[in-house]
A and B are shown apart, each in its own frame.
Chain A
Amino acid sequence: MPPSLELRNIGQIQEANLSFGDLTVLVGPQASGKSIALQWLKLVLDTGLVQAQLSQYGLDWGKSVSKFLDLYFGEGMHTVWQEGLSEVLWDHQPWDANKKISRKAVSKKESVFLVPAQRVLTLRDGWPRPFSDFSAGDPFAVRSFSEKLRLLMEQELGAGDAVFPKSNRLKSEYRKLLEKTIFQQFRLKVDALRSQKRLVLGQTAGTAPLPYMVWSAGQREFVPLLLGLYWLMPPAKVSRRNDVQWVIIEEPEMGMHPRAITAVLLLVLELLDRGYRVCISTHVPQVLDLVWVIQKLGRTQAKPEKLLQVFEAPNTQGLRTVAANALRKECKVYFFDGDSGQVHDITGLDPASLDKTESSWGGMLDFSGRANEAVATAMANTGTLFPL
């Protein structure tokens, strides 16, 4: 049985029955509950760790669910929980929020790594902010992610000056794709301004480094994600980090050109190859194209080279293995309907489905469809092919 999370009457969500695949993608309009669902997944699986980290930084919620949820989801967000109405079930078993939150959990293991949508806020002046640098009203996911990056920089990456490209991090094929699509001629490195360490983009020797604030929007969005991926893909022969089994990436496409998104999605395949279960929320059809191509090529037992061609990735032995494993993965796609509060399984992604949420890929193809109809009608009546 695949792991499942059921949410009832939580925030905008009236009912969500999420059965997770190896790769699970959530789509839906803004404020439809995708992020709430993903954060709830983290809370259910990492309750002890969340409690321990909050306590470590002097945050106390007593036994109050409401106070805890304000600390976890962010200020004012306790309203997502309606006492007596809200329900959470993990693997079909009730998850009693009052008990789970009021009692300190024994296990402090981290099984879910969450890359939040607000990741650009984790770097200040080019350096990850510590957990305590944020306000108590900021979401735990942002604070925790930022702290993780800070530790990574201080303990693993900050000693040398090169952060990207780095020979023992990521396969060389990925590095080349990221250079081509995101960093171009620049190198991500550590330097110091008046003894304060910071990440900068450097060109050739002798040219002034570019500080964080002058990077492109896509580079600013990508660097925290890159650092998160470094953490998930440790060097040497360890394929996964500690006890982490799940990776959540909110809106991996943020700020990036479709070619750069392609490179990021190839890294998602690497995460799957390493055995992580990956959940993504997105607003771009390109991510659903990834699910679609995995499903279609997988069912036709296509060669992994075909999948690599989609990414314009080199046909190397290492990437063929990653692609071959991806084609065996189970994918799931859910549409969060912000109007009804219902969550629909649209995994089929069939453009001919009679379920409009599935045929429009959760509304992401609606605009294209309307544009097609308008242009086709104009061409059918005034075009050179069919003059009236």
Chain B
Amino acid sequence: MSFQNDVEQTAGLEHAYRPGKQALRPADQNKVDAIATRRLAGSADIDAALENLRPNENRWDYVVGWATKEKSEFLYWIEVHSASGAGAVREILDKLTWLKGWLDGEGNRLRNYRRKIVWIASGKSAFQQNSPQLKRLVAAGVYFAGGHYTIAD
């Protein structure tokens, strides 16, 4: 498996691959760091790339590749989304359902990587790490990072 190759072989993402975290919109780039940027294997803005192919759907924002210490590739599925209201958890779960469906279909080349699914707040947050609503998301596989996330092993 090669992250770059698999992105470029995925329908709709043929031109979406960017080195490092360059696929992230400028406002979102500040929200993501890595302990070693040279180990970033690239990124893709899924939301933008699939806007025409899959309009009006709850598209996930980004995927970022990461080379682990063991030299395997690990994917970070990152969503930058409002966390300011009670409905935000439902919205993230809807996006997660979309992501799962997409990975089961057109995105299946990116399905068999180990992964983390991360939600980063776009502004202020109504949730703390001990909020029961967040535990529901955790049980579904989504980690709420607050306003910033650092990619690490």
A residues with CB within 8 A of B: 285, 289, 292, 296, 350-354, 359-361, 365, 368-369, 372-373, 375-377, 379-381, 383, 385-386, 388
Residue pair B139, A365 in contact (C-beta under 8 Å): no
- Distance A361 CA – B128 CA, assembled complex (angstroms): 9
Residue B130 contacts which of A285, A359, A373 (CB distance < 8 angstroms)? A285
Q: Report whether B141 and A380 are in contact in the complex, using a CB–CB cutoff of 8 Å.
A: yes
**A350 to chain B: which residues have CB within 8 Å?**
124-125, 147
CB of B147 within 8 A of CB of A285, answer: no
Taken together as a complex, chains A and B put the C-alpha atoms of A143 and B135 apart, in Å, by 45
**B126: chain A residues within 8 A (beta carbon):** 296
Which residues of chain A come closer than 8 Å to B147, judged between CB atoms?
350-354, 359
A377-B116, A381-B115, A386-B100 are contacts. A353–B129 as well, Cβ < 8 Å?
A: no
CB distance from A350 to the nearest CB of B (A): 5
Would A385 and B141 count as touching, CB distance under 8 A?
A: yes
Decide yes or no: A376 and B117 within 8 Å by CB, A352-B125, A385-B141, A388-B112 being known contacts: yes
Among residues of A, the one whose C-beta sits closest to the C-beta of B103 is A386
Q: Do residues B129 and A375 form an inter-chain contact, with CB atoms below 8 A?
A: no
B103–chain A nearest beta-carbon distance, Å = 8
Q: A297 → chain B, closest Cβ, in Å?
A: 12
Give A163 Cβ to nearest chain B Cβ, in Å.
Answer: 36
Q: When each residue 115-153 of chain B gets 1 if its CB lies under 8 Å from chain A and 0 otherwise, what string results?
A: 111000101111111100011011111111011100000
Residues of B within 8 A of A353 (CB): 146-147
**Whole-angstrom CA separation of A383 from B141 in the bound complex:** 8
Q: Which of A352, A375, A381 has the most CB of B within 10 A?
A: A352
Contact B128 A372 (CB under 8 A): no
**B100 contacts A385, CB within 8 Å?**
yes
Q: Which residue in chain B gives the minimum CB-CB distance to A366?
A: B129
Query: B83 in the interface, Cβ–Cβ < 8 Å?
Result: yes
Most buried by B among A289, A372, A381, A385: A372
Within 8 Å of chain A (Cβ to Cβ): is B71?
no
> In the bound complex, do residue B140 and residue A351 qualify as a contact, i.e. CB atoms below 8 Å apart?
no
